[in-house]
Structure 1
Amino acid sequence: MSSWLPVSPCTPPGCATHVGPVRHPVPAAALLLAGCALALAGALCVPLALLLGRAHRGRLTRAWAYRVVRSFGVRVCVVGRAEAHRGGPGVLVAANHVSWLDIPLVAAVFPGRMLAKSDVRRWPLLGPLAALGGTLFVERDRLRALPTTVRVLASALRGGARAVVFPEGSTWCGRGPGGRFRPAVFQAAIDADAAVQPVRIRYFAAPPGSREPAGAAAFVGDDPLTASLWRVVRAAGLTAEIHILPRIPAGSLHDRRALAGLAQSTVASDRANLPAESVHH
């Protein structure tokens, strides 16, 4: 098995179950329709948004992405503050990966060009939206295409763009340490002399204030997207937390493996403090 094709041990039956209050199917169906409608509206408006300047487009994207997450019945909690871009090379945003919700959640804070597996292109609604938004799709089973992907990513960063990556290479349920950050994408940051912005994503269930990871948000294994969508809108009291961690300055490390390891340890820094019952086995 190639290191670029990581496999998560998480499965829908073992990791994506919901414990807690649930919504009646009728309001849940209303949320599902609202969320899908807003996602579709965003996809249709992308060509017009591309005519705007980068700053205006960023503000519009953040507002829309936030509303997408909220329209599916999920609260949003942002911890920390994003640093303003002051010109020069862009920033590589590196986040752990739990759910399809990660995409609009990160875009609500860090709109930018995303790197995603080619399967995402075929997702209903989110796939066409991602393509129109400039997502760079990776054929994970074609390793010879990886150097080209890194060059394109580095070129975007040199041009001042913000790029968003999920270096674990697969989704993990969020109840354990997660996957190892693959180093290839960090070579793009080194080549472009770009900073790395680590981001931690977590989903919690009701009651308010609970720190128990929410299985309903996990989109793992061979879970169908439709099943995951329905599980999310049925789960009452879900909260999505995005934690903006200290930025790794450009030029701090010149070895991609060391840079990947530093970003990974930054994202996972307090996972060891999770209660024992929440740790994934």
Structure 2
Amino acid sequence: MTAVAVLRLVALAVLLMACLPPHLLSKALLGRSRWPQRFLTGVAWICGARIRVEGTPPSPRTLLACNHTSWLDIPVMAAATGCAFVSKAELGHPAIHWLADQNATLYVRREERRNSHAQAQAIASQLRNSQPLALFPEGTTGPGTHLLPFRSTLFAAVTPLPDGAVVRPVAIDFGPAAAEIGWVDEPGLDNVLRMLGRTRPIPVTVRLLDPLPPSTDRKRLSEAARDAIESALFKSPRQSPIGKGQ
């Protein structure tokens, strides 16, 4: 473990201890708290992310469909939009699960197709809350050089759209560092320590794209979201677009 990684781990622990008391007090007195978003914003900065946001801020009842390159996407998106997340149910350590709970994370078991209707209902219900809701349709982190196929089942909650809801694709762009940031076939702890040990900042642009036209076809909506994100990520000469499913 490098000295930089150690310093960042210490800073993250201090940040957590500083945010916990006001968060718990706010929840006890008001029934709600903005401290999880503040904590995740601090996490993104401590980990080296330097965030630039393009596009209009998301309104409540917005489903944000994002590409997924790294665990760093989560604090980056929280910092950029104040969103909650749709996550796989298996997050590993109970402490990570508890932290995710504090930001109103919605858990789904993506491998249980028999429960897809219940998952769609849960997503539609959470869209009634004030926080935008973000999901990663690839279902896992990718290499950063191209998008993985999107899982259309996650769009069932918005085909058709609930009243007042919109779907917005989001391109999380790590620029030339995307391939280095990408997390594939690397043990989780090794990846975390490698990322924390970076000495250079990580510029990342969060592009909040235009809402998608409503659709009653989840596969068509999924393809439209993927096409919009792919275009936003790979329109520059640094990389070439990769075809769907590659």
Q: Tell me, yes or no, whether TM beats 0.5.
A: yes
2:210 matched residue in structure 1: 247
Q: Number of aligned pairs?
A: 241
1:258 matched residue in structure 2: 220
CA contact (8 A) 2:170 2:207 kept: yes
Greater shift, 42-51 or 94-103, is seen at 42-51
Post-superposition offset of 1:260: 1.2
* One of 178, 195, 204 as aligned partner of 1:213: 178
Relative to the length of structure 2, the TM-score reads: 0.82
Q: Judging changes above 3 Å, is the alpha-carbon distance between structure 1 residues 255 and 277 closer, same or farther for their aligned structure 2 residues?
A: closer
% same residue:
25
Relative to the length of structure 1, the TM-score reads: 0.73
Q: Judging changes above 3 Å, is the alpha-carbon distance between structure 1 residues 112 and 167 closer, same or farther for their aligned structure 2 residues?
A: same
Q: Which runs of 5+ in 2 are unaligned?
A: none
* One of 85, 94, 100 as aligned partner of 1:130: 100
* Cα deviation code 1:141-169 (max 9, x no counterpart): 32222211110110121345421100111
Residues 1:68 and 2:40 are matched in the alignment: no
Greater shift, 259-268 or 31-40, is seen at 31-40
**Structure 2 SS opposite 1:237:** coil
**Structure 1 SS opposite 2:74:** helix
Q: Which amino acid aligns with 1:244?
A: R
Q: Judging changes above 3 Å, is the alpha-carbon distance between structure 1 residues 34 and 159 closer, same or farther for their aligned structure 2 residues?
A: closer
**Structure 2 SS opposite 1:248:** coil
1:155 matched residue in structure 2: 125
* Cα deviation code 1:231-272 (max 9, x no counterpart): 0121221414132232215x5323211111111111110415
Q: Which runs of 5+ in 1 are unaligned?
A: 1-23, 205-210
**Structure 1 SS opposite 2:99:** helix
**Structure 1 SS opposite 2:124:** helix
RMSD between superposed Cα atoms in Å:
3.1
CA contact (8 A) 1:31 1:233 kept: yes
CA contact (8 A) 2:142 2:148 kept: yes
Post-superposition offset of 1:92: 0.1
Post-superposition offset of 1:195: 0.7
1:182 matched residue in structure 2: 151
**Structure 1 SS opposite 2:137:** coil
Q: Judging changes above 3 Å, is the alpha-carbon distance between structure 1 residues 37 and 110 closer, same or farther for their aligned structure 2 residues?
A: same
2:4 matched residue in structure 1: 27
Q: Which amino acid aligns with 2:228?
A: T
Post-superposition offset of 1:37: 4.1
Q: Judging changes above 3 Å, is the alpha-carbon distance between structure 1 residues 276 and 71 closer, same or farther for their aligned structure 2 residues?
A: closer
2:190 matched residue in structure 1: 227
CA contact (8 A) 1:76 1:239 kept: yes
* Cα deviation code 1:215-237 (max 9, x no counterpart): 1x33323x332211210121221
Q: Judging changes above 3 Å, is the alpha-carbon distance between structure 1 residues 83 and 28 closer, same or farther for their aligned structure 2 residues?
A: closer
